């Protein structure tokens, strides 16, 4: 230690703790948690009522009509949300940790980085799609005002959206909170307005009789694929659930608002979007506003949706930036550098906006592949195998002697189970080609991608525990030590990963 | 003579402080600081399973073509 080692004054210490608690990874104490009942409901509602619901509703309108689509979106989203919420909410809330840390007991210190990759792909994919929606919005505003720009305007809009997002995210979370304070109520009002106009101007008969935009030949397969979109949309909340839950002050506040808003309210907003898409016969949300609201209201609504797209993207990239702090090499980088890194994968959307937007439904379904197996493994691991008890020492210590280090940082049963889950998904349903196996009539791909890895992980972990016990008995280790395990417990953290 | 980088040293001190803070917090959680976090009872589980799993699953099956 240097003789002239700098010392931290009280203010610096307080600031550091505050920073690492709210936008970092320190386990949050109860007194530091921001969300009580009203706050938890408001935050979940703000997450749920966002422009990505418009995209999901639009994609679903390609396949099914109003009634079937409504069932797939509301029931599918609620079901998917339930499967990801229960372990994540209860675990992250109990220990005040965020979701990547929560994955370490099941996946291992390094294995959790695999989950991080899925998480980042999810966030960046959504950001890109929403940015294209922003570009489409600019094009359609110009169309409504009598201009006819070329196709380049969408790519230019994406580039503009990226630049504004960068400015917002690098200026700090307070600017983000400020813009969200206006955007969320505004989107709520807009959705209510769309719902009102749809039912007064068009009526339920017109909505329910509207034909899907581009259905396949089999109504059953169309229904199954629409259900995949609904469940995958529920799984997509994986990225936001841990962040909200760690900030809530009670177990019920961690679970019920997430199910009610991320599950139910989001499904309802997706359904309003579905109705709009069916009535206007377009899956592009920026093409609904003028036909539904008329020229003046439509252009104003379009401008508002464009603005909302920017804040949705900003939230998404902000969360991605925080998650990237898990990578040791990025912990020391400036916030601007990290945000620039998250923006680079969005650049293809500037050059090929239409092509990538057309892959949006496949991407949305792919979320089922990515998050289904992880959700299944966490469900079994936290609720059944660990009985809701985790070791924070092992989560925050990279030392090889800790319980969650496993083999070279990976818990192989979970990695094998993720691969098996993804394979089962593609076996049942290929989201790129839209081909389905006959079995999907009885078992949706995203449910199989949840259940199979969950069962496989449980079996593999049981086998691993039995082998460990047998090996320990053969070498004469006492039963109490076998129960406790050979790992180091308690103080000190030898390689703290904060 | 090797030069010390004051920024690196400060960063190191900050890391050490955070690690100590982390250890303090983990010990608090181990002592049962999560006791005030409320309960999630079997009745809560029943409500969630029925409302967010069984009913949606039944709706999906009921409306399947």
A481 within a domain of the structure (yes/no): no
Least confident range of A193-197, A397-401, B36-40, B43-47? B36-40
* Contact check, Cβ <8 Å, B17/A7: no
Q: How far is CA A354 from the centre of its chain?
A: 23
Q: What is the pLDDT of residues B5-33, one digit of tens each?
A: 666 677 778 888 888 999 999 998 888 76
Which DSSP string do the residues of A413-444 spell out, in sequence order? HHHHHHHHHHHHHHHHEETTTTEE-GGGGTS-
A95 touches B at CB < 8 Å? yes
Q: Is the pLDDT of residue A485 over 60?
A: no
A446 within a domain of the structure (yes/no): no
The domain spanning residue A218 has which CATH number?
Answer: 1.10.4160.10
A78 touches B at CB < 8 Å? yes
- Per CB-CB distance under 8 Å, the chain A contacts of B65 are 68, 219-220, 223
Q: Is the pLDDT of residue A179 over 60?
A: yes
Dihedral sign computed on CA atoms, order B13, B15, B20, B25: positive
* pTM greater than 0.90: no
Peptide bond into B28 cis (omega under 30): no
Q: What is the value of ipTM here, to two decimals?
A: 0.88
Listed residue (A129, A157, A131) closest to A143, CA to CA: A157
Q: Which of B6, B52, B59 to mutate to test the interface with A (most CBs of A within 10 A)?
A: B52
A117 within a domain of the structure (yes/no): yes
What is the predicted pLDDT for the residue at A406? 92
How many other CB atoms sit within 10 Å of the CB of residue A338?
22
Count how many pairs of residues, chain A against chain B, have C-beta atoms within 8 Å.
124
A38 within a domain of the structure (yes/no): yes
What is the predicted pLDDT for the residue at A478? 57
* DSSP 8-class letter at A25: -
Q: Per-residue confidence at A2, pLDDT binned at 50, 70, 90? A: very low
- Per CB-CB distance under 8 Å, the chain B contacts of A29 are 25, 28, 33
> What is the rounded CA–CA span in Å between residue A353 and residue A357?
6
The token pair at A323 is 């998650």
A432 within a domain of the structure (yes/no): no
> What is the rounded CA–CA span in Å between residue A457 and residue A472?
22
Give yes or no for a contact between A207 and A275, defined as CB atoms under 8 angstroms apart: yes
Residue carrying structure tokens 């998904």: A425
A478 within a domain of the structure (yes/no): no
Q: What is the pLDDT of residues A376-396, one digit of tens each?
A: 999 999 999 999 999 999 999
A443 within a domain of the structure (yes/no): no
What is the predicted pLDDT for the residue at B65? 87
A242 within a domain of the structure (yes/no): yes
Q: Which of B22, B29, B49 to mutate to test the interface with A (most CBs of A within 10 A)?
A: B22
> What is the rounded CA–CA span in Å between residue A301 and residue A141?
10
The closest CB to that of A82, out of B4, B30, B52, belongs to: B52
The token pair at B8 is 């690196």
What is the predicted pLDDT for the residue at A12? 80
> What is the rounded CA–CA span in Å between residue A2 and residue A389?
40
Give yes or no for a contact between A84 and A371, defined as CB atoms under 8 angstroms apart: yes
A245 touches B at CB < 8 Å? no
Q: Rounded mean pLDDT of chain A?
A: 87
Residue carrying structure tokens 């504004």: A164
What is the predicted pLDDT for the residue at A270? 93
Q: Per-residue confidence at B4, pLDDT binned at 50, 70, 90? A: low
Q: What is the pLDDT of residues A100-151, one digit of tens each?
A: 999 999 999 999 998 988 888 888 888 898 899 889 888 888 888 888 888 8
The token pair at A395 is 């989560």
> What is the rounded CA–CA span in Å between residue B47 and residue B65?
28
Q: What is the pLDDT of residues A15-51, one digit of tens each?
A: 778 777 766 788 988 888 888 888 888 888 877 877 7
How many domains is chain A built from?
Answer: 1
Host domain of residue A265? 33-359
> What is the rounded CA–CA span in Å between residue A228 and residue A365?
6
Which residues, in sequence order, are bridge partners of residue A248?
A: A35
């Amino acid at each position: 230690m240097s003789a002239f080692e700098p010392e931290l004054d009280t203010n610096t210490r307080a600031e550091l703790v505050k920073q690492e608690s709210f936008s970092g990874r320190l386990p949050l104490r109860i007194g530091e948690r921001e969300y009580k009942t009203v706050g938890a409901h408001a935050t979940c509602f703000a997450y749920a009522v966002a422009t990505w619901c418009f995209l999901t509703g639009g994609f679903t309108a390609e396949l099914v009509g109003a009634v079937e689509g409504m069932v797939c979106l509301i029931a599918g989203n609620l079901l998917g949300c339930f499967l990801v919420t229960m372990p994540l909410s209860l675990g992250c809330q109990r220990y005040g940790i965020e979701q990547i840390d929560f994955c370490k007991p099941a996946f291992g210190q390094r294995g959790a980085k695999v989950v991080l990759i899925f998480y980042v792909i999810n966030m960046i994919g959504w950001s890109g799609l929403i940015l294209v929606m922003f570009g489409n919005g600019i094009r359609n505003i110009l169309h409504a005002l009598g201009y006819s720009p070329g196709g380049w305007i969408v790519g230019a809009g994406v580039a503009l959206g990226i630049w504004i997002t960068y400015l917002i995210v690098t200026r700090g979370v307070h600017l983000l909170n400020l813009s969200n304070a206006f955007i969320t109520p505004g989107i709520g009002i807009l959705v209510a307005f769309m719902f009102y106009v749809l039912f007064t101007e068009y009526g339920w008969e017109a909505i329910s009789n509207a034909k899907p935009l581009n259905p396949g030949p089999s109504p059953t397969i169309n229904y199954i694929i629409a259900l995949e979109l609904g469940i995958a949309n529920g799984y997509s909340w994986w990225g936001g659930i841990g962040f909200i839950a760690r900030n809530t002050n009670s177990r019920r506040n961690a679970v019920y608002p997430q199910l009610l808003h991320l599950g139910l309210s989001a499904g309802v907003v997706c359904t309003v979007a579905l109705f709009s898409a069916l009535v206007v016969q377009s899956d592009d949300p920026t093409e609904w506003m003028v036909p539904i609201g008329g020229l003046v209201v439509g252009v104003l609504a379009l401008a508002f949706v464009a603005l909302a797209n920017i804040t949705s993207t900003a939230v998404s990239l902000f969360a991605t930036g925080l998650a990237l702090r898990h990578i040791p090499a990025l912990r020391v980088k400036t916030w601007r550098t990290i945000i620039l890194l998250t923006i680079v994968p969005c650049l293809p959307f500037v050059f090929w906006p239409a092509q990538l937007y057309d892959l949006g439904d496949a991407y949305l379904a792919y979320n089922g592949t990515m998050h289904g197996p992880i959700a299944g493994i966490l469900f079994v691991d936290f609720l059944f195998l660990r009985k809701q008890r985790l070791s924070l020492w092992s989560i925050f210590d990279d030392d090889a002697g800790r319980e969650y280090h496993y083999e070279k940082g990976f818990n192989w049963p979970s990695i094998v189970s993720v691969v098996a889950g993804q394979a089962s998904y593609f076996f049942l349903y290929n989201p790129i080609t839209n081909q389905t196996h006959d079995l999907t009539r009885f078992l949706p791909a995203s449910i199989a991608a949840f259940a199979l890895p969950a069962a496989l992980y449980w079996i593999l972990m049981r086998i691993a525990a039995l082998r460990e016990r047998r090996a320990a008995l053969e070498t004469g280790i006492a039963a109490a030590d076998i129960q406790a395990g050979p790992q180091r417990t308690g103080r000190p953290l030898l390689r703290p990963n904060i | 003579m090797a030069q010390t980088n004051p920024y690196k040293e400060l960063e190191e001190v900050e890391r050490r402080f955070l690690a100590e803070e982390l250890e303090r917090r983990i010990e608090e959680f181990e002592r049962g600081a999560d006791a005030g976090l409320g309960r999630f009872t079997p009745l809560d589980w029943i409500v969630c399973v029925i409302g967010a799993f069984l009913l949606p699953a039944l709706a999906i099956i009921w409306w399947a073509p």
